[in-house]
């Protein structure tokens, strides 16, 4: 072949464009496959992230609905139903009930789920992921959800703290005809009402709840709402008793022991101290400066109405405080030790000052000699304000009503309540506790859950 012919064929080859696209596609195939792989893999990440988010949402809602001490257990059980088991396959499920809430507060429930997905074709374009597990590059994915319980505050007029561990903080014996006028109750253990719901509106209990109230709710424990008021109780040395606490040895008209109260009991504004047992020997009226709350502090003694009436004059506000110690077998309570009936106490709490809304207060350090045998029956209780006996068993056998000189408000807090006969409280409405100066204890009625993040 001549040189001229070779040159001709070379010119023809240079002008021939057949197969150019194939060459170009061959060159571009590597990045194209890489981008397709990335798109496929990123799509998988998105789908897994959505699955995690759905699981986190459901977990946070379940934990918030639970609201009790085992909210984490329930939350993790829900996450497991979505395939995310804490500690398995590098999955972490974290649940908290102290998450920050939008708008303030830190009582929201949060659920976070994280896990890893091995890298596939995305490595072609140089993506190295977030971690290397067992020699394999991994991409970490996570989801977070925050839920807030939607609750309605509910005021309580009967609270059984059950700090003694009593199995039933609220119990009825027989079939009492209670009249609570829609009052709501709370028991830090179980509640058992036989034969009558006691006229309660809502009944809350930590344990089982049978027969009490129109509606029953499971509830977490209620922290003692009035223990902080113990800081107002004067130190024992303030009374000046010098260890001398006269005790009652005989009741009735021929009483012996203790200190007699009769006719008029004049109290100054502020603290008024009494040592040992106090026993009425005639009907008695409490007088104190109008508008200036008086506090009757009974140290290592009880107040025995002895079949008589203790009333406060109109305009007199008084708080009765039982203080002392647990030695000596002292009684630290309100009683009527006569065999008959007729004893009555009719007092109204102050509406201002450190004892605002508090009618009777047992120092929470007192754990013995604190029980009340027949409240509302012997003696009759007409009391406006808080009756606080945190370690006492109160046996209700009659009705407790408001004071004749006070607002419509009576709230009882004790260790436990045993109700029999016609036992009941709040013969009158309790809707005036605000005017009576008392901030009522509250719990919450569950009302759903809302995702807030």
Q: Are 145 and 160 contained in the same domain? A: no
| DSSP code per residue over 189-224 | SEEE--S--TT-SEEEESS-EES-SSEEEE-PPPP-
In-domain check, residue 17: no
Residue 231 placed within a domain? yes
Parallel/antiparallel/unpaired status of strands 185-187 and 136-155 = unpaired
Domain end marker among 100, 117, 151: 151
Six token digits for residue 268: 């100054």
pLDDT at residue 339 greater than cutoff 60:
no
Please answer whether residues 252 and 282 qualify as being in contact, where contact means their C-beta atoms are separated by less than 8 angstroms. no
How many CB atoms sit inside 10 A of residue 116's CB? 21
Q: Which residue has the higher pLDDT, 48 or 390?
A: 390
pLDDT at position 117, please?
79
- 304 and 188 both lie in a single domain: yes
Using one digit for the tens of pLDDT, what is the confidence trace for 75-120? 999 999 999 999 998 899 999 999 998 878 888 999 999 988 777 6
Q: How far apart are CA 130 and CA 160, in angstroms?
A: 54
**Is residue 1 in some structural domain?**
no
Of 131, 151, 171, which residue is a domain's last? 151
pTM score of the predicted model: 0.71
Are residues 340 and 243 located together in one domain of the fold?
yes
- Written as six digits, the tokens of 385 are 């304000």
- Assess whether 195 and 125 both reside in one domain: no
Residues 280 and 211 occupy one common structural domain: yes
- In a domain? residue 199: yes
Q: What pLDDT, in 10s, does the model give residues 369-408? A: 999 987 777 788 999 999 999 999 998 877 788 888 889 8
Q: Based on the domain organization, do 277 and 387 belong to the same domain? A: yes
Domain residues for the domain of 206 are 156-447
Asked whether residue 10 is domain-assigned, the answer is: no
Distances (CA, A) of 127 to 135, 252, 441: 15, 94, 59
Determine contact, residues 92/115, Cβ cutoff 8 Å. yes
- Residue 250 has a pLDDT of 67
What value does the CA radius of gyration of the chain take, rounded to a whole number of Å?
Answer: 37
Return d(Cα 322, Cα 86) in angstroms, integer. 53
CA distances from 250 to 247, 256, 259 (A): 9, 5, 12
Q: How far apart are CA 112 and CA 57, in angstroms?
A: 9
> In terms of domains, do 146 and 164 share one?
no
- 182 secondary structure, DSSP code: T
8 A C-beta contact, residue 351 and residue 312: no
Contact call for residues 418 and 170 (beta carbons, < 8 A): no
Please state the φ and ψ torsions of residue 218, each to the nearest 5 degrees: -80, 140
Quick one: which of 26, 42, 24, 25 has its CA closest to 125?
42
Q: How far apart are CA 216 and CA 425, in angstroms?
A: 19
147, 175: one domain: no
Helix/strand/coil percentages in the chain, nearest 5: 20, 40, 45
Token readout for 305 is: 């109405």
% of the chain residues with pLDDT over 90:
50
Residue finishing a domain among 104, 127, 151: 151
More confident residue, 201 or 355: 355
CB neighbours of residue 189 within 10 Å: 22
452 within 8 A of 103, measured Cβ to Cβ: no
38, 75: one domain: yes
- What is the chain's mean pLDDT, rounded? 85
DSSP-based three-state secondary structure for 45: helix
The answer to whether residues 145 and 57 touch, using CB atoms and an 8 Å cutoff, is yes
More confident: 45 or 159:
159
Total length of the chain: 453
What pLDDT was estimated at residue 123?
Answer: 64
Whole-angstrom distance, CA of residue 224 vs CA of residue 398: 25
Query: Do 308 and 341 fall within a single domain?
Result: yes
Domain count, the chain: 2
Domain-located, residue 224:
yes
Please name every residue paired with 381 in a beta bridge, in sequence order, or none if there are none.
Answer: 345, 400
Residue 232, in any domain of the structure: yes
> In this structure, are 325 and 183 located in the same domain?
yes
Shared domain for 168 and 139, answered yes or no, is: no
Report whether pLDDT(342) > 90.
Answer: no
Any domain includes 108: yes
């Amino acid at each position: 072949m001549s040189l001229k012919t070779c040159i001709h064929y070379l010119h023809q080859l240079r002008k021939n464009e057949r197969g150019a696209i194939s060459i170009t596609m061959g060159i571009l195939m590597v990045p194209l496959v890489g981008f397709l792989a990335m798109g496929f893999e990123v799509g998988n990440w998105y789908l897994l992230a959505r699955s995690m988010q759905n699981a986190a949402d459901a977990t946070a809602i379940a934990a918030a609905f639970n609201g009790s001490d085992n909210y984490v257990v329930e939350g993790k059980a829900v996450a497991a139903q979505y395939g995310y088991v804490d500690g398995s396959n590098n999955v972490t499920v974290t649940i908290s009930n102290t998450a920050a809430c939008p708008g303030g507060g830190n009582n929201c429930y949060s659920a976070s789920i994280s896990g890893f997905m091995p890298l596939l074709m995305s490595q072609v374009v140089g993506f190295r992921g977030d971690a290397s597990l067992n020699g394999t590059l991994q991409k970490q994915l996570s989801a977070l959800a925050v839920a807030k319980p939607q609750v309605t505050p509910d005021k309580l007029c009967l609270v059984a703290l059950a700090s003694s561990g009593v199995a039933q903080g609220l119990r009825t014996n027989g079939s009492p005809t209670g009249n609570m006028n829609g009052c709501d109750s709370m028991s830090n253990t179980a509640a058992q009402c036989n034969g009558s719901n006691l006229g309660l509106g809502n009944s809350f209990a930590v344990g089982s709840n049978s027969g009490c109230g129109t509606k029953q709710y499971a509830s977490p424990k209620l922290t003692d709402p009035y223990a902080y008021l113990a800081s107002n109780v004067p130190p024992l040395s303030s009374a000046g008793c010098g260890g001398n606490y006269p005790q009652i040895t005989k009741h009735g008209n021929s009483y012996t022991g203790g200190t007699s109260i009769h006719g008029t009991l004049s109290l100054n504004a502020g603290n008024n101290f009494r040592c040992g047992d106090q026993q009425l020997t005639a009907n008695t009226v409490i007088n104190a400066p109008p508008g200036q709350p008086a506090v009757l502090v009974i140290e290592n003694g009880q107040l025995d109405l002895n079949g008589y009436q203790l009333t406060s004059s109109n305009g007199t506000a008084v708080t009765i405080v039982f203080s002392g110690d647990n030695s000596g077998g002292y009684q630290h309570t309100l009683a009527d030790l006569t065999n008959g009936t007729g004893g009555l106490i009719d007092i109204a709490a102050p509406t201002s000052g450190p004892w605002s809304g508090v009618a009777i207060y047992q120092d929470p350090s007192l754990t013995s000699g604190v029980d009340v045998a027949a409240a509302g029956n012997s003696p009759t209780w007409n009391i406006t304000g808080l009756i606080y006996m945190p370690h006492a068993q109160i046996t209700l056998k009659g009705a407790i009503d408001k004071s004749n000189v006070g607002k419509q408000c009576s709230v009882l807090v004790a260790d436990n309540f045993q109700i029999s006969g016609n036992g009941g409280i709040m013969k009158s409405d309790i809707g005036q506790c605000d005017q009576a100066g008392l901030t009522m204890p509250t719990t919450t009625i569950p009302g759903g859950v809302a995702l807030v993040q």
